[in-house]
Amino acid sequence: MIFDKARSWQRIHVEIPVYIGQEKLVSRDVSREGIYFLSDHLFAEGGDLYFSLGFNFAVPGKPIKFGCQGEVVRVEHCNGKFGIAAKINSLQFVH
């Protein structure tokens, strides 16, 4: 875990499936307030972002999913992809 004084929550470096539409991505790190992931697609800084997080092994035999609404706060070039940092504004249990 990394604690950044500029952030009020710890970031956890973990790979979690991130679903945006039909695209399945993987997180690089997650905190209570935000997420960072890589994508082949460019997202607009300041734009709304709707995505789901999948937790396949949280409960044995019962994958769970959270639906999230957020805002893209930073976009950067990262090894031929786009690094997307997003603030999570709301999160709700889907199943």
Degrees (nearest 5) of the Cα angle 42, 48, 49? 65
Q: How many domains does the chain fold into?
A: 1
Quick check: is 76 in a domain? Answer: yes
For residue 3, the model assigns a pLDDT of 40
Q: Is residue 71 part of a domain?
A: yes
**pTM (two decimals):** 0.82
Does a structural domain hold residue 28? Answer: yes
Q: Note whether residue 10 is domain-resident.
A: no
Residue 2 — pLDDT band, cuts 50, 70, 90? very low
Under 8 Å between Cβ of 73 and 34: yes
Residue 60 tokens read as 């044995």
**Segment 13-70, tens digit of pLDDT:** 999 999 999 899 999 999 989 999 999 999 999 999 999 999 877 667 778 889 999 9
- Which domain does 74 fall in, by range? 17-93
- In sequence order, the β-bridge partners of residue 85 are 36, 74
